[in-house]
Structure 1
Amino acid sequence: MKISRRKLLAIATAGAALPRVAAANPATEITWDDLIPPGVPYSEIIGEGVMDEVNDIWLPVFDGNATKLNPALDGAYIKMPGFIIPIEQTAAGVTSFILVPYVGACIHTPPPPPNQLVFVNAFTPWPSDNLWDAVWVTGRMQHEVQMTEVAQTGYVLEAEFMEIYVW
């Protein structure tokens, strides 16, 4: 089948006129509830705990539901809000951190369960003077249960883009 020059030019022009944004794969906006696998109620991921009298801190004890992760998020390109608990910092800003659902999680209170904590590696350091602000983090999410000096996390997010969360 032969295509005329005129038809080929028309097709090429139409293709060039399409917005480039339509070709991009936008991030799926998620909430903290989305980190819990379907069918597991939030009330079943919160554990009991014990008081460490020597260090005067509460040590949560989680059951198996606390480390259950949502299979749909492994490899997903997502955007989610949260607060920053710095792990690694340079003069340019925070390069890795734990994204938490509320201010003070892991520091002033017992840490949330692992499936409510996201370890973030930032491609671009986040400025240290914005640590108390809520942020949007966009990037590729992976399942990876790991222990940090602050808490056990269930997910790892490679942050391609970050911005202040506007209420």
Structure 2
Amino acid sequence: MMRNTLLSALLAFTALTGAEVFAADRAEAQSTQEFLDLSWADLLPEGEAERIAQLQQMQAIQNGMDHFGAERMPQVQTFNTVDALDGQVVRMGGYVLPFDFTGSREISRFLLVPYVGACIHVPPPPPNQLVYVHAEEPIQIQGLWDPVYVKGVMHTDRHDNELGDTAYTLELTEIMPYES
């Protein structure tokens, strides 16, 4: 029962993070018509949030997952996407989870995640709540715990990796600090 409550709370937090925290500049950004301003909830097809909650509940029961005892929690594998986003220029808020991090803080590929601490000791968000981001040229980031906006071309391409599989890929054109 406790596991089910924690998993449901995590999913709700993920949806609220995208829908509430990063919604502040949404109306202003959409008025420019340069890009779609997305929240994390916009990445989920109709009914997907409920489906993810059910899958997480079943997975916790089947695996007997204990948040404090597992080295790595499994990711719920659902790759359902919003097809209309494929090829669109978008902007999204989130947090950077780099694959490689140099001393000069330069990265060229990372996961955009919906909340701080995603993928660490808890089940990673499902693939349709993670975005694999790649840049042609390495970019420099200030802090790992600072929220950012990323802008680029979104694709509904699956990307399997060691940090968490993704259902979306973004060709990065710009990264900027999140400002409310």
Shorter-chain TM-score: which interval?
0.7 to 0.9
Greater strand percent: which structure?
Answer: 1
Percent identity between the two aligned chains: 37
Which residue is equivalent to 1:163?
Answer: 176
TM-score (norm 2): 0.69
Structure 1 gaps, min length 5: 1-23
Equivalent residues of 1:27, 1:78 under 8 A apart: yes
TM-score (norm 1): 0.74
Structure 2 gaps, min length 5: 1-31
SS in 1 for 2:159: strand
- CA deviation map 1:33-91 (0-9, x unaligned): 01011x224121232333389x823533636xx21001111111100000011013344
Equivalent residues of 1:144, 1:156 under 8 A apart: yes
Match of 2:49 among 39, 42, 50: 42
Closer, same or farther in 2 for the Cα pair 1:41/1:92, shift >3 Å?
A: closer
Shift of 1:143: 1.1
Equivalent residues of 1:82, 1:134 under 8 A apart: yes
Which residue is equivalent to 2:41?
Answer: 33
Match of 1:86 among 82, 86, 98: 98
Larger Rg: 1
Closer, same or farther in 2 for the Cα pair 1:163/1:128, shift >3 Å?
A: closer
Q: Distance in 2 between matches of 1:108 and 1:82?
A: 19
Equivalent residues of 1:134, 1:165 under 8 A apart: yes
Equivalent residues of 1:96, 1:121 under 8 A apart: yes
Match of 1:74 among 80, 86, 93: 86
Closer, same or farther in 2 for the Cα pair 1:73/1:138, shift >3 Å?
A: same
Closer, same or farther in 2 for the Cα pair 1:124/1:130, shift >3 Å?
A: farther
- TM superposition outliers: structure 1 runs of 4+ over 4 Å: none
Greater helix percent: which structure?
Answer: 2
Equivalent residues of 2:99, 2:109 under 8 A apart: yes
